[in-house]
Amino acid sequence: MFDIGGVFISMRMAFVIPLLISTFLTLSPAQQVAVDMMPLPTEYKLGRGALKFDESFSVSLSGYKEDRLFRAVERLLTNASKQTGIPLQAKLTGRRMATLTVHTEHGSKPVEEPDEDESYSLEVDASGARLSAATPLGAMHGLQTFLQLIAAGPGGFHVPAISIHDRPRFSWRGLLIDVSRHFMPVEVLRRNLDGMEAVKLNVFHWHLSDDQGFRVESRKFPKLTGMGSDGLYYTQQQVRDLVTYARDRGIRVIPEFDMPGHTTSWFVGYPELSSGPGPYQIERRWGVFDPAIDPTRDHTYKFLDDFIGEMSKLFPDHYFHIGGDEVNGKQWAANGRIQSFMRQHGIENTQQLQTYFTHRLQKLVSKHHKAMVGWDEILSPDIPKAIVIQSWRGQDSLASAAQQGYGGILSSGYYVDLNWPAGRHYAVDPLSGAAAHLSRQEKQKIFGGEAAMWSEYVDPENVDSRIWPRTAAIAERLWSPENVTDPQSMYTRMYQLSWRLDFFALTHNTNYLPMLERIAAGRDAASLRTLADVVEPVKDYAREELALTPATQLTPLNRLVDAARPESETARLFSRTADQFLAGRCQDAALALELRALLENWRKVGRALEARSADSSLLREVAPVSGGLATIATAGIAALDAIGRQEPASAERLAAQAASIQAAQKPTSAQLLLPLAVPIQKLVEAGGNACSGR
Ligand code: ACM
């Protein structure tokens, strides 16, 4: 469709000249819109006025050119068109006509590497936009920034006048998706790669094997998927296509084959690799299991040599992740042959045996021209410095690895399966904690970090809602300057990004209502939404502790805990309003009214849903949570009453209310939290003191 010789891409060329006259739009300072870029650029300065964005919009490419850049421009046009509803039709035009000119200096490496130049500059004024970058990677980042800058205003869609110089703080900005616990079809991965491109993440870490499934076709060892995947795996062609899709978006793909533990699915077809008697079945439960690869047999290394050889051709990236986490050593300790091997070789414990395995594995990975990446546990004396440590256990191990000269990436603090608020992830910096005391040179060994989407409690329907929009906060931490830390600004921009991501076909927002309709049995899902909007799934690993029966791979993920957002924006905003009200010593009558209206609605909806528990088993489960919402809302209303009447509640009454709030927020087997309990408790306390005239 695009003629590389012709160089230029534009829309509706015939109309370009007349429309140029109307391409200038001036905004008064009062009309100046906030810029919602995420991640926030390294340096930017808003100018005066804006560039009009309408159907005359056109783009030209100059300098270095390759197909990938043309496709990136095509994506910009498609996404800008979806985002604005303005039809944009690509046709060739001359450069002087283009609204946005993109200049690229030179190509990037044939296989992307972590140290490449990803910088770009973008200048926008009323007459046009100029994007320039050293490589296509920078150009693509700049196009995403431009897309985020397109905003609606009183005069129509426009891009504010701005000057941007941008480059990443860290070179390794990743997202791990576990496709073993729950398989994720290719289209799920594709839309998440689109989301990654939007926030300038550049590493897709593909966790391809674990106890619960082996997910990539091996021609050499067909029983890996033949017996270890339930037929849910990626063909080699699908892998190649996804790697191409990722490269098109400036994203590296790193496969992880977790070993020697987390390997039950390998042993279903190849029990001879294991350290126990077998036979094996695909593991359906969650947790850490005993089966582990036998590190003492030559057969194991012959198998892994062949396997890594095959996979290293399929995955072009220089890095190859071998896992290495959570080996409990029980199969090794229980195997007489392995025990005698350890004695013969002076190996004193199973941890040392894992080190022996890691060293031999490293040689195989290196033989196939890859650098090994592994979790904290692989760090051991004398392992070659070319390996990279991915820290899941804490920042200290990363700092210690850097001191010893190893490269590292941080994932501790970035586990999005734990349902933390975005602000908590945002506050975790790869160079804070123990890493803050490293020398300049040692700090350079910390390449960045990765968000991790472990998939015990997500499936293709709700996985996006755990990744997005919170992963954007982690992406900003890894891209933007260290001093970009204001959580209010982050939240504002994150929610602006969130709806834009709907146009990338991500389903974090669009699957919410259908999931609620299912629970509500099709009746008045709007009320259930009111409840869903103010609950959160329990945090960390509390879901395991609260389950009536342990969840498995076959447990449906169709409950309110699966639909509810990890972080309630409604509760966060209520909390902010309550804080504002309390900071003003409860004098602001408008705020009091706003809080009261919300609380009254929650009381009404909570009671109504509680009464509907016979409608569906899924609704019955949340009846206590609905009741809890009504209870805390009632306490909040009573607090506002006390404040309004200037009659401090008695100590007994305060204690009783605190106890009822405490009881209402105690998580049950519904595995849900009521984050409103915290601000409501503050209102109750205010009802007993400062605000009540005491
Ligand atoms: C891990 O979370 N076990 C890497």
pLDDT tens profile 191-230: 999 999 999 999 999 999 999 999 999 999 999 999 999 9
pLDDT at position 12 over 70: no
Q: Ligand 1, closest atom to CA 325?
A: 3
Least confident of 355-364, 405-414, 609-618: 609-618
pLDDT tens profile 247-300: 999 999 999 999 999 999 999 999 999 999 999 999 999 999 999 999 999 999
For ligand 1, the distance from its centroid to the CA atom of residue 410, given in whole angstroms, is 12
Mark whether 216 and 309 lie in a shared domain. yes
- CA 366 vs CA 318, 322, 369, 385: distances in Å: 10, 12, 5, 12
Query: Which pLDDT band holds residue 94 (cuts at 50, 70, 90)?
Result: low
For ligand 1, the distance from its centroid to the CA atom of residue 458, given in whole angstroms, is 16
CA quadruple 8, 9, 14, 15: dihedral, nearest 10: -120
Specify whether the CB–CB gap between 424 and 412 falls below 8 A: no
Q: Ligand 1, closest atom to CA 452?
A: 2
pLDDT at position 23 over 50: no
The residues annotated as belonging to the active site are 326
Task: With respect to residue 268, please indicate whether it lies within any of the assigned structural domains.
Answer: no
Instruction: State the pLDDT at residue 95.
Output: 67
Calculate helix-pair angle for 136-149, 487-502, nearest 10 degrees. Answer: 90
pLDDT at position 19 over 90: no
Q: Quickly tell me which residue has 């010593």 as its tokens.
A: 585
Task: With respect to residue 181, please indicate whether it lies within any of the assigned structural domains.
Answer: yes
Instruction: State the pLDDT at residue 102.
Output: 96
Instruction: State the pLDDT at residue 614.
Output: 87
pLDDT at position 91 over 60: no
Instruction: State the pLDDT at residue 693.
Output: 52
pLDDT at position 694 over 60: no
Instruction: State the pLDDT at residue 172.
Output: 98
CATH number at residue 298: 3.20.20.80
Mark whether 180 and 300 lie in a shared domain. yes
Asked whether 420 lines ligand 1 (CB < 6 A), one says no
Of the candidates 487, 488, 489, 510, the one whose C-alpha atom is nearest the C-alpha of residue 498 is 510
Q: Quickly tell me which residue has 């001036």 as its tokens.
A: 26
Mark whether 517 and 484 lie in a shared domain. no
pLDDT tens profile 160-190: 999 999 999 999 999 999 999 999 999 999 9
Asked whether 392 lines ligand 1 (CB < 6 A), one says yes
pLDDT at position 7 over 60: no
- For the chain, percent of residues with pLDDT exceeding 90: 89
Instruction: State the pLDDT at residue 316.
Output: 98
Mark whether 160 and 190 lie in a shared domain. no
Residue whose CB lies within 8 A of the most ligand 1 atoms, among 180, 375, 416, for a mutation test: 375
Mark whether 546 and 601 lie in a shared domain. yes
Tell me which residue has its CA closest to atom 2 in ligand 1.
Answer: 392
How many structural domains comprise the chain?
3
Asked whether 74 lines ligand 1 (CB < 6 A), one says no
The pLDDT of 467-479, averaged and rounded, is 98
Q: Ligand 1, closest atom to CA 390?
A: 4
Task: With respect to residue 283, please indicate whether it lies within any of the assigned structural domains.
Answer: no
3-class state of residue 446 by DSSP: strand
Mark whether 141 and 74 lie in a shared domain. yes
The pLDDT of 93-112, averaged and rounded, is 89
Query: Which pLDDT band holds residue 28 (cuts at 50, 70, 90)?
Result: very low
Residue whose CB lies within 8 A of the most ligand 1 atoms, among 326, 377, 398, 455, for a mutation test: 326
Asked whether 332 lines ligand 1 (CB < 6 A), one says no
For ligand 1, the distance from its centroid to the CA atom of residue 258, given in whole angstroms, is 10
Instruction: State the pLDDT at residue 16.
Output: 31
The pLDDT of 67-96, averaged and rounded, is 87
For ligand 1, the distance from its centroid to the CA atom of residue 417, given in whole angstroms, is 12
pLDDT tens profile 590-607: 999 999 999 999 999 999
The pLDDT of 7-26, averaged and rounded, is 34
Task: With respect to residue 271, please indicate whether it lies within any of the assigned structural domains.
Answer: no
For ligand 1, the distance from its centroid to the CA atom of residue 671, given in whole angstroms, is 22
Query: Which pLDDT band holds residue 480 (cuts at 50, 70, 90)?
Result: very high
Q: Global pTM? A: 0.95
For ligand 1, the distance from its centroid to the CA atom of residue 395, given in whole angstroms, is 14
**Residue 566 backbone phi and psi in degrees, to 5:** -60, -30
Asked whether 325 lines ligand 1 (CB < 6 A), one says yes
Mark whether 130 and 158 lie in a shared domain. yes
Task: With respect to residue 448, please indicate whether it lies within any of the assigned structural domains.
Answer: yes
Instruction: State the pLDDT at residue 3.
Output: 32
Mark whether 137 and 203 lie in a shared domain. no
pLDDT at position 148 over 60: yes
Q: Considering 439, 466, 494, which residue would you say is the last residue of a domain?
A: 494
Q: Considering 166, 181, 214, which residue would you say is the last residue of a domain?
A: 166
Instruction: State the pLDDT at residue 29.
Output: 36
Mark whether 488 and 618 lie in a shared domain. no
Q: Quickly tell me which residue has 């919300």 as its tokens.
A: 598
Instruction: State the pLDDT at residue 35.
Output: 82
Query: Which pLDDT band holds residue 690 (cuts at 50, 70, 90)?
Result: low
Asked whether 375 lines ligand 1 (CB < 6 A), one says yes
Mark whether 554 and 442 lie in a shared domain. no
Mean pLDDT of the chain: 93
Task: With respect to residue 30, please indicate whether it lies within any of the assigned structural domains.
Answer: yes
Query: Which pLDDT band holds residue 90 (cuts at 50, 70, 90)?
Result: low
pLDDT at position 400 over 70: yes
> Pairing relation of β-strands 43-52 and 156-166?
antiparallel
Mark whether 593 and 573 lie in a shared domain. yes
CATH number at residue 559: 1.20.58
Instruction: State the pLDDT at residue 2.
Output: 35
Asked whether 206 lines ligand 1 (CB < 6 A), one says no
For ligand 1, the distance from its centroid to the CA atom of residue 323, given in whole angstroms, is 8
DSSP secondary structure letter of residue 392: S
Mark whether 208 and 250 lie in a shared domain. yes
CATH number at residue 24: 3.30.379.10
Instruction: State the pLDDT at residue 632.
Output: 98
Range of the domain at 520: 512-692
Residues contacting residue 40 through CB under 8 Å, at least 6 positions apart = 476, 480, 481, 484, 489, 493
pLDDT tens profile 498-540: 999 999 999 999 999 999 999 999 899 999 999 999 999 999 9
Instruction: State the pLDDT at residue 615.
Output: 85
Q: Ligand 1, closest atom to CA 326?
A: 3
pLDDT tens profile 340-381: 999 999 999 999 999 999 999 999 999 999 999 999 999 998
**Residue 422 backbone phi and psi in degrees, to 5:** -55, -40
Q: Considering 137, 166, 195, which residue would you say is the last residue of a domain?
A: 166
Distance CA(352)–CA(127), nearest Å, equals 66
pLDDT at position 27 over 70: no
Least confident of 160-164, 333-337, 651-655: 651-655
Task: With respect to residue 501, please indicate whether it lies within any of the assigned structural domains.
Answer: no
pLDDT at position 1 over 90: no
Instruction: State the pLDDT at residue 646.
Output: 87
Task: With respect to residue 288, please indicate whether it lies within any of the assigned structural domains.
Answer: no
Residue whose CB lies within 8 A of the most ligand 1 atoms, among 180, 210, 392, for a mutation test: 392
